[in-house]
Amino acid sequence: MNTEHGEKKSFWLSPSGIALVVFLAAAGYFLWTEHRAHVVGFLPYTFLLLCVGMHFFMHGSHGGHGAHKHGDKGDDDGR
């Protein structure tokens, strides 16, 4: 080996890593070509699911719609 003691060669540059990348690229290509109609038909539902998911997960920091307190210093109405 041409590597110094203690230096590790990257997995992605090894023959096994290159073979894995080629295999994953071929599998991705064939999955896309064979299932394109199913994926494109599901896109509107994916958009709706993303909207609902964002609504639930983005409210985690302030507790939801009912957790707003009126009269705090941070209110926008100037109280």
Domain ranges of the chain: 14-60
Q: What is the reported pLDDT for 61?
A: 61
Model pLDDT for residues 19-65, shown as the tens digit of each residue: 999 999 999 999 999 999 888 888 889 999 999 888 888 876 665 55
* Higher pLDDT pick, 34 / 70: 34
pLDDT of residue 49: 92
The Cα 11–Cα 19 span in angstroms is 11
CA atoms of 46 and 38, how far apart (whole Å): 12
pTM of the model: 0.45
pLDDT, greater one: 69 or 56: 56
